Structure 1
């Protein structure tokens, strides 16, 4: 599964060139789309941010990977969380519904058609701040070339996230349109229920999971005021 890895200097040059391209085409919000374009063998690419207060999907290239990212956050298990905890890539060539590492996630993911997942931690000073996730509906490993491409994109995401944080952009990320809508809905739930951002986002995800809906649909219902979250009794 492994192949020749670029020397450190070559790797840094590749990352620097990629960062320049991404900055010209949208910054952090462009990472997933650009990564998917160079790794078309996968069916989705997502980027999830981990902060001290919340876990947040910054971007996704389609509804499948967005569902999978939200599912991992809601269940608190999956390759994404494993990559954060171990600070190393997690490559799942054949996702079985009974995988003992994340049984609930694996079962739900397989029912959604996901057969393989590849999670690459985004590290700042050796500390995981995000994860770049790739999913596919057919089993099988990533090629050596695709694996190296994903590693470079994860490193570029780290550079962009650091720059965003230094520029004091909230939690430090320029988000996709979908993520921005989720942030807006989270703010509305905070106001309605009188809770903080982490709790509001958790209630959105829990409602989506309990109702077997996509988070995007729940967000739309909140933004259009078809759904309201009242304060929790007690």
Structure 2
């Protein structure tokens, strides 16, 4: 228990660091989803944020399967993530199959991706909800009350980091700040594709290489992704770091 408490403390400290200047929004979002997998009894996590048109977009995911399921439910406008955002309240689904009548197409796709439970929590700052944090389990089962509270605390802290710092320092509106994060996500997906093809990797391993290179060189994740997408950075340089770590 003491080890988990130390890990929780380190995670909140890492999220709090986003309140300083020049933090990396893209890395923050992935820190959040990966921390949820490390700290909670879930197999994967994903994060959606609303864009300037009011539509939810996938911003981060811990696995490719989670990303595909997020994209699917947003595409059909059906599922716990969508309902969580609309209701602005947690949507906790211990057994997706048992609730198939509620979201038939989502339930079928969740099973195809290997997920049996989904818990969606609002990304909120005070009364303002900007998206949802989604936790996926491979087996049916409720998420304990303490874990729900912890996940909501992580989501709330990350939301402050997303909205607060640059809005205050640079005079950006909330929609501008979120759009910056959304644009960065598109570039990251392009960069992952470049690395996956070059290194014959899975998309998950490609992202591990991308994030590792950015961190080891003290660069913004989005900046490295943009350099790869624009062919200004040799993908073999990024992949060499992955080879050293493995």
Match of residue 119 from structure 1: 120
Say yes or no: does 1:52 pair with 2:52: yes
Cα 1:44–1:164 change in 2 (3 A) is: farther
What is the CA deviation profile of residues 149-207 of structure 1, one whole-angstrom value per residue up to 9, with x for unaligned ones? 1111111121012126614465355479865334789xxxxxxxxxxxxxxxxxxxxxx
Match of residue 152 from structure 1: 153
Cα 1:173–1:141 change in 2 (3 A) is: farther
Aligned length: 175
Match of residue 198 from structure 1: none
Structure 1 residue 74: Cα displacement? 0.9
What is the CA deviation profile of residues 69-103 of structure 1, one whole-angstrom value per residue up to 9, with x for unaligned ones? 11111111100001011111000001117623221
- 8 Å CA contact 1:28–1:174 kept in 2: the answer is no
Structure 1 residue 145: Cα displacement? 2.3
SS at match of 2:178: coil
Cα 1:183–1:121 change in 2 (3 A) is: farther
- 8 Å CA contact 1:46–1:132 kept in 2: the answer is yes
State how 1:89-100 maps to structure 2 within 5 Å.
89-96=90-97, 99-100=100-101
State how 1:79-228 maps to structure 2 within 5 Å.
79-96=80-97, 99-163=100-164, 166=167, 167=170, 168=172, 170-171=177-178, 174=181, 179-182=186-189
- 8 Å CA contact 2:46–2:134 kept in 1: the answer is yes
What is the CA deviation profile of residues 29-78 of structure 1, one whole-angstrom value per residue up to 9, with x for unaligned ones? 42111222211x21101111112324221111111211111111111110
TM-score, normalization: structure 2? Answer: 0.60
- 8 Å CA contact 1:29–1:176 kept in 2: the answer is no
Cα 1:79–1:21 change in 2 (3 A) is: same
Partner Cα distance (2:43, 2:12) in 1: 26
Match of residue 205 from structure 1: none
Structure 1 residue 118: Cα displacement? 0.3
SS at match of 1:49: strand
Structure 1 residue 112: Cα displacement? 2.0
Match of residue 30 from structure 1: 31
SS at match of 1:132: strand
Cα 1:165–1:21 change in 2 (3 A) is: closer
- 8 Å CA contact 2:18–2:165 kept in 1: the answer is no
Greater shift after overlay, 104-113 or 114-123?
Answer: 104-113
Structure 2: tracts of 5 or more residues without a match: 1-8, 193-202, 204-228, 231-246
- 8 Å CA contact 1:165–1:173 kept in 2: the answer is no
Partner Cα distance (2:59, 2:69) in 1: 13
Q: Which structure has greater helix proportion? A: 2
Say yes or no: does 1:72 pair with 2:84: no
TM-score, normalization: structure 1? Answer: 0.63
